[in-house]
Structure 1
Amino acid sequence: MAAPVISVDNVGVRFQRDRGRKRSLKDMLGRKELRQAPDEFWAFRNVSFDVAEGESIGVVGRNGQGKSTLLKMVAEVLIPDEGSVAVRQGVAPLIEITGGFVDDLSVRDNVFLAAGLHGKSKDEIADEFDDIIEFAEIKDFVNTPYKHLSSGMKVRVAFSVIARLDEPILLVDEVLAVGDRGFRRKCYARIEEMLAEGRTMFFVSHNDGDLKRFCQRGIYLDKGKLQYDGPIDEAFDRYTTDYA
């Protein structure tokens, strides 16, 4: 049997409610006990699962239950406080999608910057630049400073860049909730193309239609725990039943 492309092993993540209070050196060095200070809480704890290559997984739960946090760990931009996350393939993250774009740079410069940060060479970006701009529908704004774009236009640019990456694992966090209906249809079609190529996907959404369209498996996070891992219909049904 092939090794899983993602292994989440007994993971826990904690945050501080009072961001103004810094942990002392003693707090940071005393990680063996991982005692919870009064102003700390666990987003989730003791979460374990494996993901096979080509699986498409919907992550469901209320706001604040750790869905985006889970994706950030898979993207390796967040380190868990307990346990481990092993990711054995490259990741294309559609999470906090406009992060990394620079307001004062032009759209053109931002495309080269963002794609370059994800490993694309300058020549590769140049070859794909026209397709990126056409997909984003911003041909008349390529030399406009990014800060002057509308929020919807910014999302279109960012999605168009990330959707051109060749990474085998795709992370999608509520990005399809933004933008007009026509652009969402294009996003849906592009995601379906990527899944048809055999990519692995984590998909966070509150939209049951989108979840059931793209995902076969569902993970339900609630009250700091993995409450269910199985068919997406059952995962969403359990979630909606708990909070009907």
Structure 2
Amino acid sequence: MGRNGSGKSTILKLLTRIIRPDSGTIETQGRISCLIELGAGFHPDMSGRENIYINASIFGLDKKETDERMQDILDFSEIEEHIDERVRDYSSGMYMRLAFSIAINVSANILIVDEILSVGDIAYQKKCMDKIRELKESGVTIVLVTQNPEQAAGICDRTIWLDNGRIKMMGPSKEVCDAYSDFMLGSGRQRSLQSFFARSL
């Protein structure tokens, strides 16, 4: 959790090996599924169905495994009537539904979710959050990036508060989220604004 530019998405890209660290090591165990950027990994000129096969293969599934999961993906996405249309014609909400549905149906051990869940209608956002909680209870590790303290406290056991690429606080979610909220809405924000205006004069 942290403000824009604090390093949240960079860490997720490191965890998913989109970029590599300049120093140190990152160790993960098991299959990783991720939702980092809306439409990432989708080919705009291919249909939703074709993109399911492409994305599933990126996550390590072969065609047979994808075929077995196809109906579950379609059912959760709720866009089956559009699945054979080009994804370039999808709305952002349809993109998100399909991407999320693929990500949760690849039997991953680790699910990484960026703030993509802010896209879509309220009912579908709730459906996604309920599914994330279900996966967590089943033993899947959830790594969630958000600027919403209530969302973090409601899903995660532990939270890291990032600020300018560094860990400002780490610990039980409620403690960290309360401190973050106080900083953003209370005296910390006031001090930051005072500093900003002082530099501007």
TM-score by length of 2: 0.87
Q: Residue deviations 1:168-197, cap 9 Å, x none?
A: 111111122111111112111211111011
Residue of 150, 169, 178 corresponding to 1:228:
169
| Secondary structure of residue in 2 paired with 1:108 | helix
- Structure 1 distance, partners of 2:29, 2:64, is 27
User: Unaligned regions of 5+ residues in structure 2, if any?
Assistant: 186-201
Residue 140 of structure 1 is matched in structure 2 by 81
- Structure 2 distance, partners of 1:204, 1:109, is 28
Residue 90 of structure 1, CA deviation: 2.2
- Paired AA for residue 143 in structure 2: F
Residue 237 of structure 1, CA deviation: 2.2
Residue 104 of structure 2 is matched in structure 1 by 163
- Structure 1 distance, partners of 2:123, 2:70, is 21
Residue of 98, 104, 115 corresponding to 2:39:
98
Residue 152 of structure 1 is matched in structure 2 by 93
Residue 97 of structure 1, CA deviation: 4.1
Residue 9 of structure 2 is matched in structure 1 by 68
Q: Per residue, is there more strand in 1 or in 2? A: 1
Computed over aligned residues only, the root mean square deviation of the Cα atoms, in angstroms, reads 1.3
Residue 174 of structure 1 is matched in structure 2 by 115
| Secondary structure of residue in 1 paired with 2:25 | strand
- Structure 1 distance, partners of 2:22, 2:138, is 34
CA contact (8 A) 2:146 2:152 kept: yes
Residue 213 of structure 1 is matched in structure 2 by 154
Using the TM superposition, name which of 85-94 and 166-175 deviates more: 85-94
Q: Per residue, is there more helix in 1 or in 2? A: 2
- 1:181-220 maps to which residues of 2 (within 5 A)? 181-220=122-161
Q: Residue deviations 1:58-117, cap 9 Å, x none?
A: xx1111000111111111211112222122332111211420100000111111111112
- Structure 2 distance, partners of 1:186, 1:211, is 16
Residue 56 of structure 1 is matched in structure 2 by none
User: Unaligned regions of 5+ residues in structure 1, if any?
Assistant: 1-59
Residue 212 of structure 1, CA deviation: 1.3
How many pairs does the alignment contain? 185
- Paired AA for residue 75 in structure 1: T
Residue 119 of structure 1 is matched in structure 2 by 60
CA contact (8 A) 2:7 2:164 kept: no
Residue 224 of structure 1, CA deviation: 2.9
- Structure 2 distance, partners of 1:152, 1:142, is 14
CA contact (8 A) 1:217 1:232 kept: yes
- Structure 2 distance, partners of 1:140, 1:89, is 33
- Structure 1 distance, partners of 2:38, 2:59, is 13
- Structure 1 distance, partners of 2:22, 2:88, is 36
CA contact (8 A) 2:5 2:164 kept: no
Which runs of 4 or more aligned residues in structure 1 lie more than 3 Å from their structure 2 counterparts after TM superposition?
Answer: none
Using the TM superposition, name which of 81-90 and 117-126 deviates more: 81-90
CA contact (8 A) 1:219 1:235 kept: yes
- Structure 1 distance, partners of 2:164, 2:84, is 47
